[in-house]
Structure 1
Amino acid sequence: MKIQRTDWGYIEWRHIHDENDKKQLMDIRISVVLPGKSQPKHTHYSEEQMLYVMSGEGIHIINGKKHHKKAGEFVYIDGGAAHETHNIGDEPLRELLVSNPVVVNNYDYEDKKIDGLNRIIEAIQSQFIEPLNIPITIYDSSWKILLQTKCFNNYCIKTCALNGRFAYCDCLTPQNTAEDEQYTFKCSHGLTIYHIPIIYEDEVIGYIRGGHILLASDGKKSDQKNIYDTPTSTAMSIKRLLVQIAKSIVNYYRFNKLRGEVQEKNMAIEKTSKLREELKNDLIKEQEKVTNLKINHHFLFNTLNSMASMALEKDCFDLYSAIIDLSKLFRYTMGVDSEFTELEKEIDYVKQYLNLQKIRYGDELEIEYNIDEKYNNVGVPFNFLQPIVENAFVHGFKNSLDKKKLKLSTFLYNERLRIVIENNGSSLSDSDVCTVIQKIHNNSGHGLSLIHSKLQFAYANNFKMDVLSNEKSTSFIIDIPIVNNLKK
C-alpha cells in the first residue's frame, strides 16, 4: 500500500487508475487528517469526489459553505469546487475518498460561424473552462495570450502576479523543446506546469499551460506553506483535463471549418438552384416565343398558299413558282429538328433561294450546278451552304456591273467531299483574303464565322474552310469527311 505524507496527515492509496487504460478513471484512497490539522484550501477543478467519514469528526468548507460531518456520513464535492478540511476532534479524521476525473467534451456549438482561434476560445470559455475554476493560460501559435483565467492559487498570485497578470512568470516563457510535444516542467518556485499543444491537422495552432500545482512526493513533506500537496492521481486528472480542453478546442475548430465549408456549399447549391430556376423560366419564355413563331409561320404558309392559288388563277406562273420556292424555304428552316441533314436537301434549299434571286436579277444572273449525286445522302450541318451563297450577293456582287455568275460544285477530292461556291464578283487581294480567313476563324458567331463554328462542332478539326481569289472569281472551298452524321 502506497503512503503519501503531507503537512496535515497522510494518504493511503488503495487504487490509482492506469493512465494508459481507457477503462480506468476512478481513484480510491483513505485520507487521514491528524487532530488539530487542516487541509489548505484547494480547488477540485480536475475531478469530482465522494468522501465517506470512517472515523473522527471534521468540518468541510465547500465553496464557502460549512458542512459538519462525523463517522458514517457522506460528503460530495463537484468539479471546480473550492474545498478545505478541518479536523475538529481529538482523533484522526479518516475518510474514504473516491474521485473521478471531470470530462469536458459536452458543449453546444454556436449557430453562427466563428472565425479565428481567439473567437472560438471566447465561445467555449463560459461553457466549460470558467465553471472548472482551473488556472490555465491559452496562447496562439505566436505565443500571444488569448485567455488567462483568474483562479490561480494564492501562492502563485503572491509570488508572481503583477497587477493581476503573470507578466514575468517563467512558466509563461516558451521552453526550448519541440513545439508539438506535450511535456511537464517545474517553475523556479517548484510548482509543476503542464504544456499541451493544440494541434489541428498536423499544425500547431496554439498552446495550453496549466496545473501550477505542488506535487506531493513519497515520504517527503513540502517546504512550501499554505499550499495544497496535490496527490498523484489528482495531478494525472489535471493533465488529462488539459488534454481534453485542447481536444475540445480542436473539435470546435474542426466543426467551425466544416460548417464554413457546408455553408459555402449550401450557398453554391442555392445559387445553382436559383440559376436553374432562372434558366427554367427563360426556357419557358423561349418555348412561348417558338410557339408564337410557329403560329406566325403557320399563318404565313396559309397566306402564301392563298397567294399561289391567286397566281395560278391569273396565269402568273413565275409568281406562282416564286411563292412556292419561298414557302419551301420557310418550311425547310422550320421542319428540320436535327443538327444534321442530307446534302441533297441542303442543296435543294440553296436552289430555292437562288430561284428567288433569279426573279430579282433575271438574265443578269447565271447559275451553274455541278453536283456529284453519289454524295447526296452524306450528312452535313443544317443550313451551312445558303449563308455562303448569300455572301456572294451581299459582298461579291455588290459593286459589280457585269453579268453575275455563281457556280455550286460537289465532288470527291483526296477521299473527302469538296464543296465549292464560286462567284465572279469583286476579286480579293491576298491581304483581303487573309482578313476574310481571320474573320472566319474568330468564332464570333456572325456571318461566315458562324458557318465555321457549325463545321467545327460537326467535325472537330477534321475539316477545311478556305478562300481563293483571282482576277476572274472568288471561291469558298469546304472539305469535309464522307461520313453519315444523321440519326436513325
Structure 2
Amino acid sequence: MKIQKTDWGYIEWIQRSENQPSMNIGKVVCYPGKQMYPHIHYEEQFIYVLEGCGTGWANGTLQKIEPGAMYFMECGCEHSMKNEGDGPIIHLLVSNPVQVEMDSFIDKEETYKELSSEELIVAIEAVRGQFLDNLHSAYVIFTESGNLLYQGSYFPTYCRRTCSPQEHPGECRCMKNWIHFLETTEQTIECPYGLLVYRIPIFFNKRVVGYILGGYIRISSEEEAPIEGVYDTPESTAEGLKSLLRKASRAIRTFCEFNQFKNALFEKEALLEDSKNSREALLHNLKMAENTVTDLKINHHFLFNTLNQMASLALEGGGVPLYESIIHLARMFHYSSQTQGSLVSLRNELKYVDAYLQLQKFRYKDSLDFRYDIDDEAQDTIVPFNFLQPLVENAFVHGCDEEESKYLEIEIKARKEYVDIWVKNRGKCLTSQDCYRINVGMRGNTAHGLGMIYHKLGSIYKGGFTMKIGTRENSTVLYVRLPK
C-alpha cells in the first residue's frame, strides 16, 4: 500500500489509480491538533469516521466528526476539518471522479476551417458559464502564443496574498514562464511560491490552439515545511482536478467543432433552398418560435426571483408593500401574455421596465436608486417585445454588488433614423478585456441572457442594429441602437 504523507497526517491508499481517473479508497489519519485547511473537492467523496473526534465544515454546514459518522460531499464542495481530540482522527475515504463525457461527437475525419480567436472566445464563454465556473477552481486560458483569453475569478487566498492575480490578470510568474516552453503535452509547473499548476493543451483540427492553466494546489514532499493556511492536497484530489481540466479542454474543442459543423449545415441548407417564398415563411415561423422561447426563458427566470421577494415580504408582515408588489407583478404578466412574440411601442416597454424596477425597489428600498432620461419623441418607436427588461435586469443583477447601494440609469435619445439606448450602472466597472469577451460571447449566441437578446434583435433587424457593452465615466454601459 502506498503512503502519502501530508502536513496534517497521512493517507494509506488501499486502492489508487495512477494512470486514469477511477475510484480511489484510502485510510486517512489526521493527527491531534492538526487541521485540514479549507479546500475544494474536485471529485465526489464519501467519508466514514472510524475513530477520533473533531469538527468539519462542508459548504458552511457543520459536520460532527465522531466514530460512525458518515458524510458525502459533491464535486465543488468547500471542505475543512480540525482534530480537537487527544488521539488521531481516522476515517475511510472513498473518492470518485465526476463523469462528465464531453468528448467530440463529430466525425474524427472531418476537416475544419482555421479557428478564429473570436470562435475560441465564444467556445470558452459557453464552457465557462456551463461548466468551469461551477468548479470554484482557479484557472487561466491562453492562446497558443501566450495571449490571455480569460482568467477565472476564483483564486486561493494564498495566491491572492502572494501574487494578486485579480489585480494583474495573466501576469503571475507561473502564468508567464511557461510561454517559453511551448509543447503539445500536459505539463506540471511549480510556481515560485510552492503551488502546482497544471497546463492542459486545447486541440482543434489536430493542432494546439490554446492552453488551460489550473490547479494552484500544494502537494508536499517530506523535505518541505508546511505553508500556513494552505491545504496539503491528497493525490486523488489532484488527479480529479486534472481530469476536470482535460474535460474542459475537450468541451472547448467539441463546441468549436459543433459550431463549425452547424454553420456548414446552414450553408448547405441555403444552397438547397428552392423556393424563396417558402424559405421566408419558414424563417418567419422560426423567428416567432425563437422569440417566444426567449421570452419564456426570461419570464420564468424573473417569475422565480419575484415570487421569492414577495414571499419574503409576506413573512415580514408587509401588507401594503406586498399588495403593491402584486399589482406590479400582475401588470407585468398581463403585458407579457398579451404581447408575447410581437412588436410594441417603446412607451409600453418602458412601463414594463418600470414595473420591474418598482418591484426591485420593494426589495432593496433606499439602497436602490434609478432614473430615466428619455426623449418623448422616442417613445412611439416600434420595438421588439421584452427586449429592454432583460438588459436592465442584466445590469442590475451582474453590475451591482449585493451588499452595496445600487444605481441604474436608462437614457434614450431619438435620432433622425435611429433610437439610441444606454443602460448604465455604477457598480462593478468592467475591464476592456471583460467587455471584449462579453461582446464576442453574446454575438456567438451562447444561451446567456445577453446572447438571447442579441439573437432576438438580429432575427428582426438583421445587421441593422447595434448592441455592445463598454464603460464610460466609471460606469458599465450597455448600448443599443435600433432603427425607427
Q: TM-score, normalised on structure 1?
A: 0.51
Higher deviation after alignment, 1-10 or 79-88: 1-10
Which residue of the partner structure matches residue 395 of structure 2?
A: none
Bigger RCO (CA 8 Å, 6+ sep): 2
Q: 2:59 aligns with which of 59, 63, 73?
A: 63
- Is contact 1:6–1:220 with CA below 8 Å preserved after alignment? no
Aligned pairs (5 A) from 1:98-177: 98-105=94-101, 116-161=119-164, 163-173=166-176, 174-177=178-181
Q: CA deviation at 1:167?
A: 4.6
What RMSD over aligned residues (CA atoms) do the two structures have, in Å? 2.6
Letter in 1 for 2:227: Q
- Is contact 1:157–1:164 with CA below 8 Å preserved after alignment? no
SS of alignment partner, residue 7 of structure 2: coil
The whole-number CA distance in structure 1 between the counterparts of 2:5 and 2:250 is 34
- Is contact 1:211–1:239 with CA below 8 Å preserved after alignment? yes
Letter in 2 for 1:27: N
In structure 2, the CA distance between the partners of 1:77 and 1:222, relative to structure 1 (3 Å rule), is farther
Which residue of the partner structure matches residue 74 of structure 1?
A: 70
Letter in 2 for 1:204: V
Q: How many residues are paired up?
A: 267
**Does residue 201 in structure 1 map to residue 190 in structure 2?**
no
Q: 1:32 aligns with which of 29, 33, 36?
A: 29
Letter in 2 for 1:65: T
In structure 2, the CA distance between the partners of 1:163 and 1:149, relative to structure 1 (3 Å rule), is closer
The whole-number CA distance in structure 1 between the counterparts of 2:278 and 2:215 is 58
Which residue of the partner structure matches residue 186 of structure 2?
A: 182
Which residue of the partner structure matches residue 235 of structure 1?
A: 238
Larger radius of gyration: 1
Letter in 1 for 2:135: L
Higher deviation after alignment, 66-75 or 168-177: 168-177
Q: CA deviation at 1:62?
A: 0.9
Q: Deviations over 1:374-413 (max 9, x none)?
A: xxxxxxxxxxxxxxxxxxxxxxxxxxxxxxxxxxxxxxxx
Aligned pairs (5 A) from 1:215-364: 215-217=219-221, 219-270=222-273, 272-274=274-276
In structure 2, the CA distance between the partners of 1:242 and 1:162, relative to structure 1 (3 Å rule), is closer
Which residue of the partner structure matches residue 445 of structure 2?
A: none
- Is contact 1:53–1:71 with CA below 8 Å preserved after alignment? yes
The whole-number CA distance in structure 2 between the counterparts of 1:198 and 1:267 is 32
Q: CA deviation at 1:250?
A: 0.3
What's the % identity of the aligned pairs?
A: 36
Which residue of the partner structure matches residue 15 of structure 2?
A: 15
Structure 1: stretches of 5+ with no match in the other structure: 278-488
Aligned pairs (5 A) from 1:38-49: 38-44=35-41, 46-49=42-45
The whole-number CA distance in structure 2 between the counterparts of 1:163 and 1:26 is 35
Q: Deviations over 1:329-355 (max 9, x none)?
A: xxxxxxxxxxxxxxxxxxxxxxxxxxx
Q: CA deviation at 1:204?
A: 2.0
SS of alignment partner, residue 216 of structure 1: coil
SS of alignment partner, residue 262 of structure 2: helix
Q: CA deviation at 1:115?
A: 5.7
Which residue of the partner structure matches residue 363 of structure 1?
A: none
SS of alignment partner, residue 225 of structure 1: coil
In structure 2, the CA distance between the partners of 1:220 and 1:71, relative to structure 1 (3 Å rule), is farther
Q: CA deviation at 1:96?
A: 0.3
Q: CA deviation at 1:223?
A: 3.7
Q: CA deviation at 1:276?
A: 11
Q: TM-score, normalised on structure 2?
A: 0.51
Q: CA deviation at 1:146?
A: 2.1
Which residue of the partner structure matches residue 314 of structure 1?
A: none
The whole-number CA distance in structure 2 between the counterparts of 1:9 and 1:84 is 14
Letter in 1 for 2:25: I
Q: Deviations over 1:409-432 (max 9, x none)?
A: xxxxxxxxxxxxxxxxxxxxxxxx
Higher deviation after alignment, 115-124 or 127-136: 115-124
Q: CA deviation at 1:131?
A: 0.9
Q: CA deviation at 1:127?
A: 1.0
In structure 2, the CA distance between the partners of 1:202 and 1:179, relative to structure 1 (3 Å rule), is same
